[in-house]
Amino acid sequence: MLLSILAILLGFVLLLWSADRFIDGASAVAGHIGLPSLVIGMVIVGFGTSAPEIVVSIMAALDGTPELALGNALGSNIYNVGLIVGVTALIMPIAVHSKIIRRELPLLLLFGAVAGGFFWNDQLSRWESLLLLIGFFGLMAWTTWTALRGKGDPLVEEAQALSSPPMTLGRAIFWLLAGLTLLLVSSRMLVWGAVSVASALGVSDLIIGLTIVALGTSLPELASSIAAVRKGEHDIAIGNVVGSCMFNLLAVVGIAGVIAPMEGLSTEVMRRDWPVMMAMVVGLFIMGYGVRGAGRINRIEASVLLLGLVVYNGWLVNAVLTV
């Protein structure tokens, strides 16, 4: 048990550090091959911040624990909105000026509804997972097109500043490969430790994925959103969350489902976890969209999001104690 807890803690530390190195390396390599800094800032960095969730879910699926992968995706989205937006907007109310984000918020609602439709029969087939992946690649293409044509949009201007500092090609390739290798190693440690703890405590893989794993893999977005809002880059702060949530629903769930189709999912996914995730997403849409001009998430609304997260975690604790 102690070894499993140490594996989780060390896995988290390595996961966060290696994700940063991976993003720096990938961004620099993309710059060397001639990708515009706008695309690097919006696509490469956006994908990189979701790398922990993706790699952890791949490892979980390969280990035959797809509910851990699903819990990671749904739980990360709940933490993204409840914790990251909540804490960030408490530090400084977030103003959403970007038209791109205003277009992405309805897409997030759509992807969440589609995922719920797939989960409705308590399973996720390989074909349904492939459809999610097709949606992911479509999202990547749309984001790239948006970045290239969205000059003047606040999100694009802020994202352009995210490209990594100059780095030689050799050094960039080294950190790309080293970051990816450490991502795989740390994810393996984290998944092994999480499954071991779940087995020792008699807790389901789904619960572990929704809590410990989801919180840990959401930390990169929390750090980047807080840093962004302190710099006055409000659209980046909220854009990180919206982009990560869509990546989780499409790429994280899609890849895990292709590797290991999910059959006999816990009924709690549709009775508890998916509805809570959608409630968070709807709340984010209402607060951030803005009917007349810029949307704004104030401290009162941030407190509501945090309270919702606390209530949800209390619900999970009660579920564990009553098993």
Which of the two residues, 39 and 266, has the higher pLDDT score? 266
Domain span at residue 116 reads 46-160+198-321
125-139 per-position pLDDT tens digit:
999 999 999 999 998
Alpha-carbon distance of 256 to 260, in angstroms, equals 6
Which of the two residues, 157 and 209, has the higher pLDDT score? 209
Task: Give the residue among 268, 265, 241 at the shortest CA–CA distance from 253.
Answer: 265
148 located within any domain: yes
Q: At CB < 8 A and 24+ separation, what contacts does 149-152 make?
A: 150/38, 150/99, 150/100, 151/38
Q: Which two tokens stand for residue 257?
A: 């489902």
268-288 per-position pLDDT tens digit:
999 999 999 999 999 999 888
Say if CB 215 and CB 43 are below 8 A apart: no
User: In 10 A of CB 290, how many CB atoms?
Assistant: 16
Q: Which pLDDT value is given to residue 222?
A: 81
Map residue 94 onto helix, strand or coil. Answer: strand
Q: Which pLDDT value is given to residue 37?
A: 60
255 located within any domain: yes
Q: Which two tokens stand for residue 166?
A: 């100059």
Dihedral sign from CA coordinates of 304, 9, 43, 24: positive
53-89 per-position pLDDT tens digit:
888 888 888 888 888 999 999 999 999 999 999 999 9
Please determine, for residue 155, whether its predicted confidence score (pLDDT) is greater than 80: no
Task: Give the residue among 278, 305, 241, 281 at the shortest CA–CA distance from 49.
Answer: 241
Which of the two residues, 130 and 161, has the higher pLDDT score? 130
Please determine, for residue 255, whether its predicted confidence score (pLDDT) is greater than 90: yes
- What is the number of domains present in the chain? 1
Please determine, for residue 29, whether its predicted confidence score (pLDDT) is greater than 70: yes
pTM over 0.85: yes
Say if CB 250 and CB 136 are below 8 A apart: yes
At a CB cut-off of 8 Å and minimum separation 6, what does 319 contact? Answer: 207, 268, 272
Buried-state track 171-195, b at ≥16 Cβ within 10 A, e below 16: ebbebbeebbebbeebbbbbbbbbb
Amino acid 131 reads L
36 located within any domain: no
Please determine, for residue 148, whether its predicted confidence score (pLDDT) is greater than 80: no
Please determine, for residue 291, whether its predicted confidence score (pLDDT) is greater than 70: no
Alpha-carbon distance of 24 to 45, in angstroms, equals 8
Burial of 24 (0-12, 13-18, 19+ CB in 10 A): buried
Residue pointed to by tokens 């509804």: 113
Which of the two residues, 295 and 107, has the higher pLDDT score? 107
Burial of 286 (0-12, 13-18, 19+ CB in 10 A): middle
Range with the poorest average pLDDT among 28-37, 205-214, 269-278: 28-37
16 located within any domain: no
Please determine, for residue 195, whether its predicted confidence score (pLDDT) is greater than 90: no
Task: Give the residue among 207, 248, 197 at the shortest CA–CA distance from 80.
Answer: 248
Q: Which pLDDT value is given to residue 79?
A: 95
Outline where DSSP puts E strands in the chain.
94-96, 295-297
At a CB cut-off of 8 Å and minimum separation 6, what does 310 contact? Answer: none
Q: Which pLDDT value is given to residue 126?
A: 95
Q: Which pLDDT value is given to residue 198?
A: 81
174 located within any domain: no
Residue pointed to by tokens 């694009």: 156
Alpha-carbon distance of 143 to 43, in angstroms, equals 7
Under the banding of pLDDT at 50, 70 and 90, the label for residue 142 is confident
Range among 48-52, 157-161, 194-198 rated most confident: 194-198
SS3 content of the chain, % helix, strand, coil (to 5): 80, 0, 15
Please determine, for residue 191, whether its predicted confidence score (pLDDT) is greater than 70: yes
- The per-type count for the chain, helices as H runs and strands as E runs, is 17, 2
41 located within any domain: no
Q: Which pLDDT value is given to residue 42?
A: 61
127 located within any domain: yes
Please determine, for residue 43, whether its predicted confidence score (pLDDT) is greater than 80: no
Backbone angles phi, psi at 296, to 5 degrees: -150, 130
Mean pLDDT of 203-217: 87
Instruction: Calculate the average pLDDT of the chain.
Output: 85
Say if CB 80 and CB 260 are below 8 A apart: no
Share of the chain above pLDDT 70, in %: 89
Q: Which pLDDT value is given to residue 152?
A: 64
186 located within any domain: no
How many CA atoms lie less than 13 Å away from 107 in the CB half-sphere? 21
CATH code, domain carrying 224: 1.20.1420.30
